[in-house]
Chain A
Amino acid sequence: MIAIIGAGVTGSLIARELSRYEKDVVLFEKNFSAGRGVTKSNSGIIHGGYDDPPGSLRASLSRKGNILYTELSEDLNFRINRCGSHVVAFEKKDFEYINKLVKYANTNGVKSYEIIDREQLKIMEPELNGNALGSFFCSDSGVVNPWNVAVSAVTNLQKNGGEVYYDKKLIRIEKINSGFRLFFEDGTQYEADLVINCGGLFADEIAKMAGDIVPEIFPVKGEYYLLKPEKTLTNSVIFPIPDENTKGCLVTPAIDGGYLAGPTAKKVLSKYDNTNTEEGLSEVRTRAEKLVPNINFRKDPVKTFAGLRPETEEKDFYIDVGNSGIIHVSGIRSPGLTAAPAIAKYVTEYIIQEKLGIKLTERPDFDPKNNVRIIDSFETLEEMNSFIKEHPDAGEFVCYCNKVTKYEIKKAIEQGARSIEDIKFLTGASFGECQGGYCTGKIIEIMLQDKRVKPEDIILNEKNSWLFSSEVRI
């Protein structure tokens, strides 16, 4: 068995890539669903690959990853919007940085860029701060819902005979003759021939379990606002000139409509500290208003959230085989989401086949395509009409904001959604403007139609995140 620890976007795509060759691939995830750690709360940007230092692992993998996303999104059936990105100059000296981007872009093999002058920029981004002097525009950049990439990769893994086990928190690794024995918090044990550590924020701790050392991971918090799609704020991803540590606080269209503003970049002590803070949110407001002055933080916020990025001193990915023989995919900081499809190929083709010398043969029966998609999308009303005639539940709306039907909710539950957030991330229900004010009740009604489910069992996301203390009357 090949065991992958962690069903974030990297682990899920590696597992799916391995199922191209091997049937016995198992993905272990401590949460109840894929893509719910680092993958869940970030900007969702597919970067152009123009700003990573040439020669770094980051640079080569993010450019390759960007290109791979086109085929991947078609195969796995998730949405990508290649809306392009601007890095905006406000002062003359900012062009020094833009010139550096040009050099990096040329070295990294990025061709799809242009330098945009002030007038052209006004036409492309009318809401942008009028003081902007110009930008570095890359048309290859885009946005995705990162958790959808992870979830759809897992769906394809399962289709090809691989398995995913949720609620499996790894606590110990033992080396045995035939490979490794993995111990999980729930008392279960599994033997694996090969182990790939994709532990995200905890990849360094997992490495330690095996006696290996990888660069230490420290959590960097990013706070965000999600805003309503009331008026067009930007057409592309808008980056400021970055500082030393981050690409800076951006404003971008979100894939489901609306806009995302953020993130901050603050080192925090705990790998569980995903709290919003007044300082963080106020920093986002100030920085985003500088880019897009008409952004309305009084009226248009839908929600605020925070995510943690796994940063290392080296600020680069660390992908290698440890002394124990375990493969560590660690330090997957920005642009990890962009690079993930290329990381999956790097691990299977280079690390496993070349470096470890394990020969993998492609299975003739591997099917790269997901035909199912939980969220319905119809080109025309006629198409929708004939679908409803076959599936009446698809004509019954549950989430009015994001137009999610009972058919989709039921399908998400069939696919293993256990919590309210599982359903939210799979279908988009309660992701909209009212944040579940209407549909949470309806979703719970559907969950309770399964008589085995008791109100006390319903959870928001993790264990102990209960919603109801009891029934009102028995």
Chain B
Amino acid sequence: MSSNVVVIGGGAAGLAAALKASEEKCDVTLIERDSDVGGVLNQCIHNGFGLDYFKKNLTGPEFKEKLKEKVLSKSNIKIKSGAFVHSVEKDKNIVFIDRNGVNNLKCDSLVITTGAKERPFTSLGISGKRLSGIYSAGLAQKFINMMNLRPGNSALIVGSGDIGLIMARRLTLEGVKVEGVIEIMPYPGGLQRNIKLCLEDFSIPLYLSRAVKYVDGDRRVNKIITTKVDDKFNHIGGDDITFNVDTLVSSVGLVPNVKPFEFLEHSAGFSTTNKNRTSENWIFSAGNSTVVFDLVDYVAQEGEKAGYMAALQAKNDLSPAGKIKLLPGKNIGILYPSYIEKDYESKIYLRARQPMEKGVLLIPELGIEKEFEDIKPSEMIKIKVPAFDKNTDRIEVNLNELK
């Protein structure tokens, strides 16, 4: 088997990448490990997707169907679902396994869009018993929305990331009493609109600077003791709140999936250039396998670009260019991409380390200075940078607070 472009992972980024590469007249194979494409969109039945990419307010499954329909209409895209990638070999051979056996697939270029996984609650080193009733938010969402299973009667949400907020509302709507959402940081982890729509509208309290101290119960959770934390996350005594609930839903962060491609340069996710190129010239990556984005729209846009670049690479139309390291400076949490190829425009995404009423983004090497208001770590700051000709080996990005 062979294909000009292979895309691994059929979520929003992968579907968009396959589509774009096919429009560039490449034969594309899309490999998906689950039984259907769509990734996490399948279980996100709430709306709020597509406002930027489709200019419409869609649910997750609608967003996926719109992309999938287009993909299915292309005769030069093959979808292999239920297919698990075993390895990628340097001679551009991809080994994947499905119910038919072990398969080899040759390609000219590869796009990795493997998304992210949830950080498990068990990894946090929290005191207490090992009990039933502790679920990651995504798993709880899958139980309710896709498997028709109610994971408990009353719940505390740990972590105010978007999935946690969405689940607070979802559980409430399905008759599970949500006693609150606790967040270890002094500010919420999810989008402001989700705080409003998922918590405030349902009178669900949000407790900031608060962490789980002890999980108790008798084979099933029945009590969660929480405590106030200082800015170094040390427990402060004297202000404990006990929640008598049978379910703990954790939303404590996402981790990019880089397996089994660890041979590529990566920190949390793959380090890519503004052309979505990884440390191997013929391998591209986009979406949450690079950094965790706040909106699926950006994931799809980046996927499209990766598909386009992979198609150029397959046709030998993409010249290897020098990479300039993009360095996170002051107050920058997450910065994307990792490198810039200066003969092409860039869209830089970043997250601030802490909220700021007003701040100024400084990229001295490129002469960029731009003010932003109401900066929140949960919402990415985006800035477009055109192609440039300056000679430099590093570009530092800083965010200075303005008082």
List residues of A whose CB falls within 8 A of some B CB: 225, 274-278, 281, 297, 301-305, 381-382, 384-386, 388-389, 392-393, 395-397, 400-401, 403, 433-438, 440-441, 444-445, 455, 459-473
Chain A residues in 8 Å Cβ range of B33:
397, 400
In the assembled complex, the CB of A210 is this many whole angstroms from the nearest CB of chain B, namely 29
Which listed residue (A274, A381, A434, A455) contacts B149, Cβ 8 A?
Answer: A455
User: With contacts A303-B123, A434-B120 known, is A465 near B219, CB below 8 A?
Assistant: yes
In the assembled complex, the CB of A114 is this many whole angstroms from the nearest CB of chain B, namely 34
B68 at interface (Cβ–Cβ under 8 A)?
no
> In the complex the two chains form, is B120's CB within 8 Å of A472's CB?
no
B223 at interface (Cβ–Cβ under 8 A)?
no
Besides A434-B118, A471-B148, 14 new A-B residue pairs in contact (Cβ under 8 A), listed by A number: A277-B127, A297-B125, A301-B124, A302-B122, A385-B101, A389-B100, A395-B98, A395-B99, A436-B139, A441-B142, A441-B147, A444-B147, A460-B131, A466-B132
> In the complex the two chains form, is B118's CB within 8 Å of A304's CB?
no
Q: Kindly identify, within residues 85 to 132 of chain B, every residue whose CB is under 8 Å from any CB belonging to chain A.
A: 86, 95, 97-102, 117-118, 120-132
B53 at interface (Cβ–Cβ under 8 A)?
no
In the assembled complex, the CB of B130 is this many whole angstroms from the nearest CB of chain A, namely 7
> In the complex the two chains form, is B120's CB within 8 Å of A461's CB?
no
Which listed residue (B97, B124, B148) contacts A388, Cβ 8 A?
Answer: B97
> In the complex the two chains form, is A468's CB within 8 Å of B143's CB?
yes
B14 at interface (Cβ–Cβ under 8 A)?
no
Chain B residues in 8 Å Cβ range of A393:
99
> In the complex the two chains form, is B149's CB within 8 Å of A275's CB?
no
Residue of A nearest to B102 (CB): A385
Residue of B nearest to A225 (CB): B125
CB-defined interface of B213-234 with A at 8 Å, one 1/0 digit per residue?
Answer: 0000011100000000000000
Tell which of B150-158, B310-318, B334-342, B358-366 binds the partner. B150-158
> In the complex the two chains form, is A389's CB within 8 Å of B139's CB?
no
Chain B residues in 8 Å Cβ range of A381:
86, 95, 102
> In the complex the two chains form, is B218's CB within 8 Å of A464's CB?
yes
In the assembled complex, the CB of A413 is this many whole angstroms from the nearest CB of chain B, namely 18
Rounded to whole angstroms, the CA-CA distance of A438 and B138 in the bound complex is 9
Rounded to whole angstroms, the CA-CA distance of A385 and B100 in the bound complex is 8
List residues of B whose CB falls within 8 A of some A CB: 33, 82, 84, 86, 95, 97-102, 117-118, 120-133, 136, 138-139, 142-144, 146-153, 174, 218-220, 235, 246, 259
User: With contacts A435-B122, A444-B149, A459-B132 known, is A472 near B102, CB below 8 A?
Assistant: no
Residue of B nearest to A41 (CB): B130
> In the complex the two chains form, is A473's CB within 8 Å of B148's CB?
yes
User: With contacts A388-B102, A468-B150 known, is A434 near B131, CB below 8 A?
Assistant: no
Rounded to whole angstroms, the CA-CA distance of A385 and B153 in the bound complex is 45
Chain A residues in 8 Å Cβ range of B122:
302-304, 435
Chain B residues in 8 Å Cβ range of A384:
97, 101-102
Rounded to whole angstroms, the CA-CA distance of A54 and B320 in the bound complex is 68
> In the complex the two chains form, is A437's CB within 8 Å of B220's CB?
no
Chain A residues in 8 Å Cβ range of B259:
400-401
In the assembled complex, the CB of B291 is this many whole angstroms from the nearest CB of chain A, namely 16
> In the complex the two chains form, is B139's CB within 8 Å of A440's CB?
yes
Rounded to whole angstroms, the CA-CA distance of A38 and B118 in the bound complex is 30
Chain B residues in 8 Å Cβ range of A469:
150-153, 246
14 contacts between A and B (CB under 8 A): A276-B126, A302-B123, A303-B123, A395-B101, A396-B99, A400-B33, A437-B120, A441-B147, A459-B132, A464-B218, A467-B149, A469-B151, A472-B149, A473-B148
